[in-house]
Structure 1
Amino acid sequence: MSKFAKGSAVALLALALGACSSTGSQEDAALSQKSPDALYAQARTSMELGNFSKAAKSLEALDSRFPFGPHKTQVQLDLIYAYYKMDDTPQALANIDRFLRLNPTHPDVDYVQYMRGLVNMQADSYLFHDMMNIDRTDRDPKNAMDAFKDFDRLLKVYPNSKYAADSRKRMQFLKNRLARYSIQVAEYYVKMNAWSAAAVRAQTVLESFPGTPSTERALEIMAESYDELGQEKLKQHVLLVMKENFPSNELVAN
């Protein structure tokens, strides 16, 4: 590239950055001139149109300029939802935790707790993999576990919440996902001939995630592991449980 071309590219980049900065400054200046009601009306309009990024800017301006204004609580609730729709997990969780800390007795606390579960569940999902039907249960389950705990807390503290029924369904989905993850870990230990670790991991499926489709496979791994470890009594106990619950399994069918 010639010196002239390089210089032109740098100049164009500088102009573009300057234009962005100027536009941002103009937007910030415009927001700073609006009243609380006007800012909130703008934010609501943006949310209704699905422009959650623009809505978040208006809400952030409201939150910083008028922290004790007439819309303060609703602004916090709307910010949580806007960040959730933007898939901005850190900001969503930060605002959720702030709301729960500052408004522990607010009537919408159950909704905020429910949103915490949704945010963590969203952080655990991979839309592309879901669309392509790719199983990625081997990914780090931290967000899934956090979501499970969030929904569990909602059900324990607010059992009559209107979000309780949906939370139960989501917990079952997460329970199945976490059980599959444990099975994959156990199968890895089997491949490594780490039989004790495989048995322990498979047992966690029975103890922590009972009643999931992974139960049968967990019992198979436990039976194989105990056989390799020479633990005949434990193996026979597992086979007894398997015969009671999965009589057609080839390990106990004959």
Structure 2
Amino acid sequence: MFCLKNITCFLLLLFALTGCGDKEELYTDRKVEDLYNIAMDHFEAKSYTKAARSFAEVERQHPYSNWALKAQLMSAYCYYEAKKYDESVEAFNLFIQLHPGHPEVAYAYYMLGLCHYEQIPIIERDQKPAEDSLKAFQEVINRFPASVYAKDAKFKIDLIHDHLAGKEISVGRYYQSQGAHLAAINRFKEVVARYQTTSHVPEALHRLVECYLSLGLKAEAQAVAAVLGHNFPNSDWYKDSYALVKQHTAPVVAPSPAK
């Protein structure tokens, strides 16, 4: 028991000393160059959480130095690399609020978009990260169209739109399978109205044809099928819609009179 107690005390002392070392590295007053180099060492070692805290310490100890703003951005980026997206979003938002006219605000908005983008879930789940990502990327395009980030922001927006359209299609299919055709129609219309450039539009139009025919609305089904044929004449969805409309609108042949 005596030996076990001594070992326990030794381990506790060792952990305490290790903790003190980390705190000393971060919180002891140092020259700005030394703090920044410590942070860069952590960054290059891919110890991103330590790097984020160390860069934050540069800004805390030397808020008016030339290094402070870069350290602020580096801290936010390190949290992104560590996949600590909440911390990264908070840090980039703070930078935007404190320095709205800074040349790197476009970068901060772009990184906000990436933080949300990388949290976009499968289509069966809540799509708030997708909506938040869209807002940030749209800010890049609207406010900084000439920036180096605008092109990729536009590309990401197209991908997000396709993802969100897929979500609407999935929900619409579910309503349709349950016989809730009006609810399904609203979802498919949303795809056609909001996500016109996505790959899901032909299917949305075809599903509208199906729903209208299920409700006995043949004229509406024909009108949508015509739109589908005009815009996607070689699509399999149009072929299916054409066959459906033809089936439901074929003239009824009267039986021959009995002789």
Structure 1: tracts of 5 or more residues without a match: 126-135
Alignment equivalent of 1:30, drawn from 17, 25, 35: 25
1:54 aligns with 2:44: no
Larger Rg: 2
Q: Which position in structure 2 is the counterpart of 1:102?
A: 98
Query: Is the Cα contact below 8 Å between 2:59 and 2:69 reproduced in 1?
Result: no
Match of 2:165 in 1: 179
Q: Does 1:76 align with 2:72?
A: yes
Residue 206 (structure 1) aligned with residue 192 (structure 2): yes
The one-letter code sitting in structure 2 at the alignment partner of 1:251 is: S
Correspondence 1:60-139 to 2 at 5 A: 60-124=56-120, 136-139=122-125
Q: Provide the rounded CA distance (Å) in 2 between the counterparts of 1:229 and 1:15.
A: 79
| 1:190 corresponds to 2:176 | yes
For 2:168, what is the secondary structure of its paired residue? helix
> Which secondary structure state, in structure 2, belongs to the residue aligned with residue 210 of structure 1?
coil
TM-score, normalized by length of structure 2? 0.82
Deviations 1:190-243 (A, max 9, x none): 122111111101111111111211111111221112222233332221111111
Residue of structure 2 in register with 1:251 after alignment: 241
- Which of the numbers 148, 151, 154 marks the counterpart of 1:168? 154
What is the CA distance between 1:17 and its match in structure 2?
7.1
Contact preservation (8 Å) 1:242, 1:252: no
- Tell me the equivalent position of 1:147: 133
Q: Partners in 2 of 1:213 and 1:96 — Cα distance?
A: 33
Aligned-residue offset at 1:188 = 1.2
Q: Secondary structure at the match of 2:197?
A: coil
Amino acid paired to 1:47? F
Alignment partner of 1:140: what SS?
coil
1:16–1:140 distance in 2 versus 1, CA, 3 Å: farther
Identity of aligned pairs, percent?
A: 28
CA 1:138–1:16: 2 relative to 1, 3 Å? farther
* CA apart distance, 1:16: 6.4
Partner SS state of residue 50, structure 1: coil
How many residue pairs end up in the alignment? 235
Root-mean-square deviation (Å): 2.3
AA partner of residue 206 (structure 1): V
Determine the structure 2 residue equivalent to 1:45.
41
